Amino acid sequence: MSDCESCLTCGDVAIPVRVESLLPGGLALADTGSGIEEISVALVDARPGDTVLVHAKEAIAVIGR
């Protein structure tokens, strides 16, 4: 585990984040609870307001709408 537990790229975990807005190219801005980060939503059908599980900046599942 890394020193940065909430970083989307450091740990070997998936964390829930809230999609704030969609961007072109399968990307989105997401609220991690400690800031806004750009993530990929190319693998899921995410919409603004959804909660997604993210691993290595890639959304892997929608867990709440």
- In angstroms, rounded to a whole number, what is the distance separating the alpha carbons of residues 38 and 49? 15
Domain-located, residue 9: no
Residue 8 has pLDDT above 70, yes or no: no
What amino acid is encoded at 21 in this protein? S
| CB < 8 Å & 24+ apart, contacts of 23-32 | 28/59, 30/54, 30/59, 32/6, 32/8
Q: pTM (2 decimals)?
A: 0.80
Domain-located, residue 1: no
Domains contained in the chain, number: 1
Domain-located, residue 25: yes
Domain-located, residue 37: yes
Domain-located, residue 4: no
Domain-located, residue 20: yes
For residue range 13-60, list pLDDT tens digits in order: 889 999 999 999 999 999 999 999 999 999 999 999 999 999 999 999
Stretch (H or E) spanning 19:
strand 15-23
Residues of the domain holding 33: 15-64
The answer to whether 23 touches 29, Cβ cutoff 8 Å, is yes
Residue 54: CATH number of its domain: 2.30.30.140
